[in-house]
Amino acid sequence: MTDATRLQRFRPPTRIKDVGDHLASESQTDTRKVRRKRRWRTLRRVLLAVTLLAVGSAAVALWVAYEVWEVPDPAEVAAAQNQTVTLYYSDGKTELARIQPEDGARTLVRLDDVPKHVQDAVLAAENASFWTDDGFSFKGILGAVYNNLRGADGGGSTITQQYIKKATGKEERTLTRKIRELVLAKKLTDTYDKREILAAYLNTVYFGRGAHGIQAAAKAYFGKNVQDLTLNEGALLAGVIQSPTFWDPAVDKVSSENRWNYVLDRMVDANFLPGTERGRASFPRTVPVTSLPGSRLHIRTQVLAELEKSAKINLDEAQQHGYKIVTTLDKDAQGRTENIMREVMAGQPDYLRSASVSIDPRTGGVVAYYGGADGVGIDYAQTLQEPGTSFAPFVLVAAGQRGVPVGQFEIGTGRTVELAKRVGQGHVADVAHESGIPREVLGQPTIVNPTAEIAIGGGKTFARPFDMAAAYATLAAEGMRTRPHFVSKVLGPEGDARYEFKDNAKPVFDTRNPRRNAFIARQTTATLATTDTGLPNVLPDPLAVAVPGVLRFGSDGEVAKAWTVGYTPQLATAVWVGSDKFRPIKGRYREPGSREHDITGRDEPAAVWNSVMRLYHQQRSAPTEPPLAPLARPGLPTVTRPR
């Protein structure tokens, strides 16, 4: 180390002036710290004052609400539910059907008349802590707040809160309504005995089938009085409370039975039911629903199910307010569908079943709907059926997506199957799903391990008539998929809109290129329009397409399912004829030589399809769409057009 370095190292660190500056700097830092502490202390005091003021104001508001708000008497609540709900055709003026309260809805019963196992089933399903809680659930309230902030529904309600909602007629999904429920639930619990509250709830809660209250439900589902309900029957009724339209076994037996099992398991968990008795339980049989003729009953069921799912409105609320429901159904098209179905199916073998669905491709609105004849409880428009050769258009779409030329296309031939192999049977299945065939219905997959036979509806391929109409509607709308629906809007007693359907159509064949998406659909239509299907073109519309579908079986190739599915830009219609069992379907008249008449997609289904489509288009102007040709467009793949 040099002398210079030593001198530099041991030199005094600062001058006197530097020391002064350093001390001044430290003083300024301390001053800033003090100021920050003062500001935080002031802010905390302000926040505390604001919080105390808010809490105090809320407490005062809740106290005032507690003193002012009253809960109507159960008899008054029951009387308020007895209003008629009216369904209208799409014009909003012509009445389609009325839903009137059942007589049993006016019958109030004492809690002592309700078997304890029925009471326990309801408590297990809806509010197991009923006997010990204060009438409300903080967890449920917090859940409601959280969901409200997310713009979602939900938040658990106790039985007391559910009764309050019904008693006040407040159905809106808001935080304000939840707070009102909390206050009145507490007041109700302070004012009435728990047995009185449970009795009021059981006499007013909605169980589906137009039944308000447990006595009406016992009659509607089992044709008996509440005193005679078994454990199995009570568990079923308790299960439907949360979703009375969907979980009616007449609508969805699978979901209803799942819910029934859930209720029984909850009864065991709550020590309401011994495990040994649970093991002996069996799902009960209900009586048929007969309040409307067959076809109209199916429409009513679909309308109510849609309201419950999409609008969060059940029949309970609708009857309490006397709502008017404007459907998408066209009066003339619906009438023609029902009339032609009766005419075509008259005198046919007893085992034959039929269904027809028409959908507006531009809106997704159901224009006409027929799920079965009077006296047949099953809605066949909602049943899974083998689609046969009516699945062929999805092969064409798959080919268009991959730029594979279709050549001379023939429906129901080995050539169609070869094309499915070329584009990939899994891809064909994906196209069907994209078009509108759901991946599963009530837990059952629609397409299982697809093979090339999917081109002719073979293998394990299923679709509902309702979904086939929706999928063909996507083709008619040039690849734009809309949500099929029955309800246009719901009007309150003053004409105010309680609900209105809103949906944005979306491209599905090419989600990134709208022009190519439309082109794929149009080239499919062009190919089908120039394919010899054996069906006469009864419509002047150049864009009319009709595909006969059959599913054959056995060495003789007899027909088990017959379809006619087709569309124009204005309407897509699917018609199905078949039976409950996999068997040959024969018509009512004889062929030449006294041979039995084999029903195919060119016969009975085609007669219905032609009649419905012809009437619908006669009442509307011809489409203004440009002709399909030329198919090739700049920047898009070309297609080999059938000759």
DSSP letters spanning 148-214: HHHT-------HHHHHHHHHHT----SHHHHHHHHHHHHHHHHHS-HHHHHHHHHHH-B-STT-BSH
DSSP annotation string for 198-242: HHHHHHH-B-STT-BSHHHHHHHHHSS-GGG--HHHHHHHHHHTT
Phi-psi category of 213—alpha, beta or left, where left has phi over 0 and alpha has psi -120 to 50? left
Kindly report, residue by residue over 270-280, the tens digit of the pLDDT: 999 999 999 99
Instruction: Report CA dihedral (632, 513, 363, 538) to the nearest 10 degrees.
Output: 20
Confidence of residue 634 (pLDDT cuts 50, 70, 90): very low
Distance CA 471, CA 465 (A): 10
Phi-psi category of 403—alpha, beta or left, where left has phi over 0 and alpha has psi -120 to 50? left
Q: What proportions of the chain, in percent to the nearest 5, are helix, strand and coil?
A: 50, 15, 40
Confidence of residue 36 (pLDDT cuts 50, 70, 90): confident
Name which CATH class applies to 334-618: alpha beta
Confidence of residue 508 (pLDDT cuts 50, 70, 90): very high
- Cα dihedral sign, 503-509-515-521: negative
Query: Is it the case that residue 152 has pLDDT exceeding 60?
Result: no
Considering only 102-111, 202-211, 479-488, which range has the smallest mean pLDDT?
Answer: 102-111
Kindly report, residue by residue over 308-343, the tens digit of the pLDDT: 889 888 887 888 888 999 999 999 999 999 999 999
Give how far Cα 346 sits from Cα of 349, 550, 583, 612, Å: 9, 22, 20, 17
Distance CA 308, CA 157 (A): 18
CB within 8 A of 441, min separation 6: which ones?
384, 462, 464, 467
Q: What is the pLDDT of residue 368?
A: 97
Of 102, 62, 46, 604, the residue nearest 354 (C-alpha): 604
Interior angle at CA 293, CA 290 and CA 296, nearest 5: 110
Considering only 99-108, 180-189, 191-200, which range has the smallest mean pLDDT?
Answer: 99-108
**What's the rounded mean pLDDT across residues 450-471?**
90
The model carries a pTM of 0.75
Kindly report, residue by residue over 209-246, the tens digit of the pLDDT: 878 889 989 999 999 999 999 999 999 999 999 888 78
Distance CA 441, CA 462 (A): 10
Give how far Cα 590 sits from Cα of 348, 457, 598, 600, 606, Å: 12, 28, 9, 14, 18
Kindly report, residue by residue over 345-367, the tens digit of the pLDDT: 988 998 999 999 999 999 999 99
Confidence of residue 81 (pLDDT cuts 50, 70, 90): low
Tokens of 148: 């409200």
Q: What is the pLDDT of residue 294?
A: 58
Q: What is the pLDDT of residue 626?
A: 44
The secondary structure of residue 2, as a DSSP letter, is: -
Helix/strand/coil (H/E/C) assignment for every residue in 61-120: HHHHHHHHCCCCCHHHHHHHCCCCEEEECCCCCCEEEEECCCHHHHCCCCHHHCCHHHHH
With a pLDDT cut of 90, the percent of the chain lying above it is 43
Q: What is the pLDDT of residue 6?
A: 53
Q: What is the pLDDT of residue 5?
A: 52
Q: Write the single-letter amino acid at 172.
A: E
**Cα atoms found within 13 Å of the Cα of residue 107, Cβ hemisphere only:** 15
Query: How do strand 586-591 and strand 595-598 relate by DSSP bridges?
Result: antiparallel
Whether the CB-CB separation of 229 and 222 falls below 8 Å is answered with: yes
Give how far Cα 406 sits from Cα of 280, 526, 527, 614, Å: 59, 12, 8, 30
Q: What is the pLDDT of residue 400?
A: 94
Whether the CB-CB separation of 398 and 425 falls below 8 Å is answered with: no
How far does Cα 11 stand from its chain's mean position? 87
Distance CA 481, CA 463 (A): 17
Q: Write the single-letter amino acid at 366.
A: V
Q: What is the pLDDT of residue 505?
A: 92
Q: Which residues pair with 44 in a beta bridge?
A: none
Whether the CB-CB separation of 415 and 408 falls below 8 Å is answered with: yes
* Mean pLDDT across the chain: 82
Find out whether the peptide bond into 72 is cis, omega within 30 degrees of 0: no
Residue 91, number of CB atoms within 10 A of its CB:
10
Considering only 79-93, 137-151, 208-222, which range has the smallest mean pLDDT?
Answer: 137-151
Distance CA 127, CA 133 (A): 9
Considering only 87-101, 368-382, 530-544, 601-615, which range has the smallest mean pLDDT?
Answer: 530-544
Whether the CB-CB separation of 497 and 508 falls below 8 Å is answered with: no
What architecture (CATH level 2) is domain 74-78+99-303?
Orthogonal Bundle (1.10)
Kindly report, residue by residue over 547-585, the tens digit of the pLDDT: 888 887 766 778 889 999 999 999 999 999 999 888 888
Distance CA 250, CA 387 (A): 24
Distance CA 468, CA 437 (A): 7
**What's the rounded mean pLDDT across residues 612-616?**
91
Q: What is the pLDDT of residue 226?
A: 95
**Sequence-ordered alpha helix ranges (H) in 406-561:** 414-423, 425-435, 465-476, 514-529
Q: What is the pLDDT of residue 44?
A: 77
Distance CA 390, CA 600 (A): 12
Domains 74-78+99-303 and 334-618 share a fold: no
Interior angle at CA 588, CA 587 and CA 593, nearest 5: 85
Whether the CB-CB separation of 118 and 237 falls below 8 Å is answered with: yes
Tokens of 457: 């509806």
Confidence of residue 12 (pLDDT cuts 50, 70, 90): low
Domain ranges of the chain: 74-78+99-303, 334-618
Residue 615, number of CB atoms within 10 A of its CB:
18
Confidence of residue 204 (pLDDT cuts 50, 70, 90): confident
Query: Is it the case that residue 473 has pLDDT exceeding 50?
Result: yes
Query: How do strand 366-370 and strand 352-359 relate by DSSP bridges?
Result: antiparallel
Whether the CB-CB separation of 526 and 628 falls below 8 Å is answered with: yes
Query: Is it the case that residue 525 has pLDDT exceeding 80?
Result: yes
